[in-house]
Amino acid sequence: MNIPTRIILVNTTLPANIGSTARAMKTMGLSDLVLVDPKLFPHAEATALASGASDLLASARVVATLEEAIADCQLVFGTSARNRTINIAQVDARSAGRIAQEQGAAGAKVAFVFGREDRGLTNEELQLCHGHVFIPTDSEYGVLNVAAAVQVLAYEARMAHLEVAGDGRDAAPAILPALRNQPAPVAQMPVSFVPWEEELVSGEDMARFYEHCEQTLVAVGFLDPDNPRQIMTRLRRLYGRTRLDRPEYNLLRGFFKRVLELAAATASEPSGRRPR
């Protein structure tokens, strides 16, 4: 079973964690690995820890930024053990596995993003994600190695696929009914991942969208670039939660364009006159 969910590691320091991640992925049927600016790669230690999964290391893509890694994705989950000042929709690992399966089956490219060993993902990186995944570890000691966290999410992704496939060869019969009886996904903030007929917009397009949005807000004097506060942060959260489809995206980009044209025309008019 090939599960298309992408695993992204950001700025990994230890090559061993990259190798262990590849092994964790392969045992669960995942093969799409993207590395964002790793400290050391390729490396003999990564190959050694990958064991029989060195083919995943050979096919792994290395990119400079998280934006590049998610450019073709329509649904991105960032992993973090910490609550943040700006909340985004939060789901547990089991719910994330189910959502990844459902959205992948509907044609969306889904990614799980894992941060640095010492400090995880930055707030700015989490704000590029549609949801925040947490693993409900014990409250007295919730520290997970990066590769161990990948193993948990890869396992949940696989179990969600097996539940839908009903493949008794891959899962014990007692496991699947137990999964079906689990409660529905819970989010601490409103979030919707229902099937959608229209094409969802990719991360690459959304990067252009946010740039266009910010230019528009600056042009009309709503956003002060010297004191932006959290305006764009909150708009990213809003649109990330909404997940624009292509017609909605085109409509809003057209609106931004028209507002910028009117702002430019107003700026060129003599004082007191306004364009029609």
What are 207-264's pLDDT values in tens digits?
A: 999 999 999 999 999 999 999 889 999 999 889 888 888 999 999 999 999 999 999 9
- pLDDT grade, residue 16 (50/70/90)? very high
- pLDDT grade, residue 194 (50/70/90)? low
Q: Which amino acid is at 72?
A: D
Task: Say which CATH architecture domain 6-180 belongs to.
Answer: 3-Layer(aba) Sandwich (3.40)
Q: What is the pLDDT of residue 188?
A: 45
The percentage of residues in the chain with a pLDDT greater than 90, rounded to a whole number, is 66
Say if pTM beats, i.e. exceeds, 0.85.
Answer: no
- pLDDT per residue over 108-155, tens digit each? 999 999 999 999 999 889 989 998 999 999 888 888 999 999 999 999
Distance separating alpha carbons of residues 237 and 169, to the nearest angstrom: 41
Q: What is the pLDDT of residue 270?
A: 74
pLDDT: which is higher, 12 or 124: 12
- pLDDT higher than 80, residue 7: yes
What is the rounded radius of gyration, in angstroms, for the C-alpha atoms of the chain? 21
Q: What is the pLDDT of residue 184?
A: 42
Burial of 92 (0-12, 13-18, 19+ CB in 10 A): middle
What is the rounded average pLDDT for all residues in the chain? 86
DSSP H or E run through 78 = strand 75-79
CATH fold of 203-268 reads: Helicase, Ruva Protein; domain 3 (1.10.8)
Q: What is the pLDDT of residue 166?
A: 78
Distance separating alpha carbons of residues 168 and 23, to the nearest angstrom: 24
Mean pLDDT of 54-61: 97
> Domain limits of the chain?
6-180, 203-268
DSSP H or E run through 56 = helix 54-59
Indicate the SS3 state at residue 263: helix
Distance separating alpha carbons of residues 238 and 89, to the nearest angstrom: 10
End-to-end, the C-alpha distance of the chain in Å comes to 60
Q: Give every CB contact of residue 70 below 8 A, 6+ residues apart in sequence.
A: 8, 76, 111, 113, 128, 203
Distance separating alpha carbons of residues 24 and 180, to the nearest angstrom: 25
Indicate the SS3 state at residue 220: coil
Distance separating alpha carbons of residues 15 and 120, to the nearest angstrom: 16
DSSP H or E run through 254 = helix 246-268
Distance separating alpha carbons of residues 243 and 129, to the nearest angstrom: 10
